[in-house]
Amino acid sequence: MRTVEWINGRVRMIDQRQLPWNFTHLDFEDYREVAQAITDMVVRGAPAIGATGAFGMALAAYQCPTQVLGDALDYLEVAAIILKKSRPTAVNLAWGVDRMMQVAREDVYRNTKDMLSAMIKEAQTIADQDVVINQLMGKHGAALIRDGDVVIHHCNTGALATVDYGTALGVIRTAWEQKKKFRVLLTETRPRMQGARLSAWELHQLGVPFEIIPDSSAGYYMRKGEAKLVLVGADRVAANGDTINKIGTYMLSVLAKENNIPFYTVAPTSTIDLDMPTGDQVPIEERSADEVRTPYGNALIPEEYPVRNPAFDVTPQRYLAGIVTEHGIALPPFKESLARMVAANSTAKVG
């Protein structure tokens, strides 16, 4: 199941807004539509939108109206700006778009057709590498789960949040494939309910035992001693280990620390932003108040009542037991261990 893929000059995505009620795909023939689809959360999850940004750049090259290489580069520069603005918090989006622009700027092309071929190939490489990276993270992280554990998971970090397989849910998937016996408590993840809709749908497909819980009840299960581990993903990891993830993650990390429960982030090195010293400098996306007022068209809050809707929060690194990457588990002090994980990309070949 590929969340996003290239199909004969179109970018095809699973429409995640329709799950779990309908499993449908949408096709896009204009990179601006791809950018809007990212904003509208047709596709979401940091690794998935990184790959989508890459395919969006390939689509921009495909639809480029000029055959002049210099003019085509100008066209792609504009496309890159539009795509990167579609969601500002997840660093993977800018990473994927910038990686595509590096390919576009290479001084090796005889014509725009050659450049297009190279960009389609690079976007596909990014997508294929994402799957392999997720499987590697799953193998490293599965050791954290023991028979009999109850794992709390927030938001959605499975195949739907990546090209395929998943980050934190990928760890859970690998542990299940290893025949370990455990169950998962899925927070609803308001206001868009990614846990109750998407993570539950994925675990249901895999046969992993799960229960959906209100966001506000996680501390209840921790204090009872029922929960043994917390696994979450990330949209960006700062150089010091601060983690930017779906709103509500910070609250879970504090509760886990208070109750002596290990709290791990699972994220590929493409999500690690060594240029960002701490999480406090990361722009936090503020989404429409309508997501809170009228979720899925159901009016819950009067229009005149003021609403704030931050999409992410910052979890200070002191609350993390570790960060699972494709190169292993980074442990405190994170400034040193994360730098080593990123450096490992220069010597390791993935995919």
| Whether the predicted pLDDT of 347 surpasses 80 | no
CB 241, CB 338: distance < 8 Å:
yes
pLDDT in tens, 285-298: 999 999 999 988 88
User: pLDDT-derived band of residue 107, with 50, 70 and 90 as boundaries?
Assistant: confident
CB 168, CB 266: distance < 8 Å:
yes
Question: Residue ranges of the domains in the chain?
Answer: 4-134, 138-346
pLDDT in tens, 58-67: 999 999 998 8
pLDDT in tens, 148-198: 999 999 999 999 999 999 999 999 999 999 999 999 999 999 999 999 999
- pLDDT (0 to 100) of residue 198: 98
Provide the percentage of residues in the chain whose pLDDT is more than 90. Answer: 92
pLDDT in tens, 202-244: 999 999 999 999 999 999 999 999 999 999 999 999 999 999 9
- Chain-wide mean pLDDT for the chain? 95
Dump the DSSP string for 20-37.
TT---EEEESSHHHHHHH
- Domain 4-134: top CATH class: mainly alpha
Catalytic position from the list 235, 242, 273, 313: 235
pLDDT in tens, 15-33: 999 999 999 999 999 999 9
Q: Is 183 helix (H, G, I), strand (E, B) or coil?
A: strand
| Whether the predicted pLDDT of 345 surpasses 90 | no
Homologous superfamily, domain 138-346: Translation initiation factor eif-2b; domain 2 (3.40.50.10470)
Maximum Cα interatomic distance, the chain, rounded to a whole number of Å: 66
Is 74 part of the annotated catalytic residue set?
Answer: no
- pLDDT (0 to 100) of residue 60: 96
Positive/negative CA dihedral, 155, 193, 135, 244: negative
pLDDT in tens, 82-105: 999 998 887 899 999 999 999 999
Distance CA 81, CA 78 (A): 5
Q: Is 97 helix (H, G, I), strand (E, B) or coil?
A: helix
- pLDDT (0 to 100) of residue 89: 81
Q: Is 200 helix (H, G, I), strand (E, B) or coil?
A: helix
- pLDDT (0 to 100) of residue 8: 92
